[in-house]
Structure 1
Amino acid sequence: MPEPAPDAVPEAVRAAVLPLAAEVLGALDPGAVPASLAAVRRFAPRRRVTAGAGPLWLAVERDDAFRARVARAWSHAHPDLAADLLADPPAPGVPEARLDLAVGAALLRPDGWEARLSALGTPPAGDDEPAQPDADHAHRAHRAEAEVRRLAARLTAETERADGAEAELVSLRRELRRLRSDADRSRAEARRAAEHAAEVAAAAERVHAETAKVRASADDDRRRAEDLARVAREDAAALRELAQVRVRLLLDTLVEAGSALREELALPPAGRMPADLVAPPVPAPGGAAPRPTSRGRFADDPALLDDLLAMPRAHLLVDGYNVSKLAWPDQPLTEQRRRLTERLATLAGRTGAEVTCCFDGRESEASGRAPAAPRGVRVLFSQGEIADDLLRRLVRAEPPGRVVVAVTSDRALGADLEAAGARVLPSATLLARLGRV
């Protein structure tokens, strides 16, 4: 809408609009106050019309929203005049010289309002004009109109507040419906959760009952197993006793049968022993010759030792001092043991054979405890016996069929070890083999 010319609105109309605009400004919420009137609103109500007249009138002229609020307040105070102004064409018989009508035209601004405002003007003096009311009557009328305008402005503000409250009420009702819906859903979910919990509890009870039954059955099985074990132990004891009785009876039977057989055969007492019947060995021509052993090799051949140690799971037993005293007779026993065990460790590492070296144990030398041995060599010291007896026990402990190689120059010991199943080689053979490591 184009702005009116500066002289389009008479001064008297402006003076009548300003108090109403000040009343509407004071009733507005802070958020609805135009930016140009923010400072005017902080004035006292009486100063808004005087000190803020310029900004107020500019807001009425240029701010359509603010002017609409002021026009709404005037329309509430003058509903009939507002209807006449907005009628097309204007209703006849309206006293268009009245100031209120000019104020309404300036605020509502219907079509052709500027022409109608010019036509209203101020009443000319003449004989046909009615007489002016007296001063008191005019003052009271002016005060009444001001009160009406104030009440109209307050009514407009209250109406706007009521509209805002109604809108807020609608929003709150909508929020309440949403919250009720959420509450209904929560209650439904709670009911479903409670039902599920009840189902889980019932299932747990069933599992507990089944577990109790299984536990009771397991206890019964355990008791029956214990009874069976006790019966089995009693049966085993009875069977052992029966076996002992049967063996004793069989032994007595054999003894009695042997006595009866001796009496039946009436054999004379033996005058000669089996050793008397063994013929003396026939000496070989030219003296004793070494006898060949494995693969045609002789016992003093180091290659024979290599062949034996190359066999799977071979075990080399060494008569320690018998070998070391032959190799290093001038060295102390401690040095002899060190040299021999170090060379045996090298041999064990190259052949992969198990190596055990036995020494005579004396309190002054080993104190009954074996010193640290090199890796791959087992070093044993005899205790309460000689090393020969320890070697005999080691050979007897081996299972039949395993390759056991014993190294010693002691003929009596070698014979015993051969009788126990070992392959016996002299100490010189081992020393010749160790000389190459």
Structure 2
Amino acid sequence: MSGTPAADGGDPVDWSRLPDAVRGRLADVAAAAVGGLPATEVPVPLRRLARFTPAKRAKLGGPALLAELASSTVFRTAVVAWWDEHRPGELAPASDDALTAAAAAVLVGDAAAADAVAAAARRGDVGELRAERDAALSRVDKLTTELERLRGELGEAREQARSAGEQRDAEYQQLRRRVSEQGAKLRAAIDGREAADRVVEEVRAAAAADLATARADADRERARAEQERRRADRAAAEVAAARQAAREARQADEVRLGLLVDTLGGAVAGLRRELALGGGGPRPGDLVTGAGTAAGGGAVDGLAALDALLAVPTVHLVVDGYNVSKTGYPELTLADQRTRLVGQLAALAARTGVEVTVVFDGAGVVAAPVRGSRGVRVLFSDKGVIADDVIRSLVAAEPQGRPVLVATSDGAVVRSVQRSGAYTVPSTAILTRLVRG
């Protein structure tokens, strides 16, 4: 650490060799000044110490304070100026206190600073011995005082222990009384609980009796309801039997009426035979003319001729199913073709009253109902049999004289059924009639 030059050119002071006592006094002086100096005059490393008390500043920041005093003339000047302003006369080289005089001489750079430091060191040695003696005597006095204090505290502790024992005995007696009182309350509570248990048992017994009575009443009501249900079932059975008897009586009446009608029909047939009515004359279908038909059957090409033939009573319309449906709606699946064609034929049968039979190929591979809806007969050819043969069989099975109309564009079927006396109409013509309605 560098030395501080003397004001008149004397030997500089070596801060690193200053006695500890002088160093401590310098730290105390700087610590007192740092707390009162403006922040701008306090070196940056020391500004955090300004928040501490002077004693704490000197103890914790002593090395930093001494380093700033040794290196900064401006800081030393500010510290001296603060002492001159706030504590005039206390920090002077001529002070009676050797440590204060040495610290002041070092700070102001007095020429006799080295001598003042040496005098402070010598006085400090004597003072240290004296201080050690005074400190020892002080410690003896303190120990004596502490001993007396401890004796007093021991007496007080004994007195407190005796008082505490008496208080503990009193509390023990009080606790015994409380335990006795709580025991009495507990016995009373137990007695009350036993009484309550008895009341609960009585209530349970009464409730069980009421429940048994209610169950018996419910059983009686259930038995009564079961009897009423049985009576109702017998009444319902009797009503059903009466209705069955009425239906059977009505059916018997209908059978008798049917027998009567059959008897009348037989009588009428016998009368027709006796009178030779309707002998071998032509049937109504044989009388249809003007439709471009030939004797014994023929082709129906126009819609007018088709309508005239459909208006004949007892006419039978036989439809070549797939021949017509594939002509009319080939874009549909076979199942949808069948459904659509049967629906249109049912509407035609409902409007005209004609008997309609539609024949499809493939009963062995197509699961479909034998009879269509709303008066349309739906037939599927057996395995190994084509629909054309079924159509020929239908035409052949009709009695002679009944008009039969076959809807197909198959040339072979047309020629064969015409030879059997049936009429034919192309698939396009029947489709036009079905669409027109």
TM-score range, shorter chain: 0.3 to 0.5
TM-score by length of 1: 0.35
Structure number with the higher helix fraction is 2
